Amino acid sequence: MDVPATVTSKGQITLPKSVREALDLKEGDRVLFRVFEGRAVLAKVEDFLDLAGSVSVSPEKKGATWPAIKASTWRQRATVRK
């Protein structure tokens, strides 16, 4: 989909409705501009809290603190590499 927009004197643009709908953008959502070789790509930045529960957690790590999980992982990796 190619949709034009106009840059204002303050460097602002209004995202066209069709773009907002395609990306499911709502007021307060964050977006990311990635510029590469003279082009910009716009993407919606997902809220990390929306990802909660999307990754399975082994029973021994469920409810553990992050420092404890990191320490356990480092110990496991150290024994595998010996």
Structural domain boundaries of the chain? 55-81
Residue 36 has pLDDT above 60, yes or no: yes
Per DSSP, what are the bridge partners of residue 39?
36
Confidence of residue 73 (pLDDT cuts 50, 70, 90): confident
Residue 43: closest CA among 18, 28, 25, 26? 25
This prediction has a pTM of 0.55
Residue 8 has pLDDT above 90, yes or no: yes
Per DSSP, what are the bridge partners of residue 43?
32
Per DSSP, what are the bridge partners of residue 25?
none
CA distance 10 to 56: 46
The per-residue pLDDT of the chain, averaged, comes to: 87
Write down the pLDDT at residue 60: 75
What sign does the CA torsion over 64, 65, 70, 74 have?
Answer: negative
Write down the pLDDT at residue 38: 93
Residue 82 has pLDDT above 70, yes or no: no
CA distance 82 to 73: 15
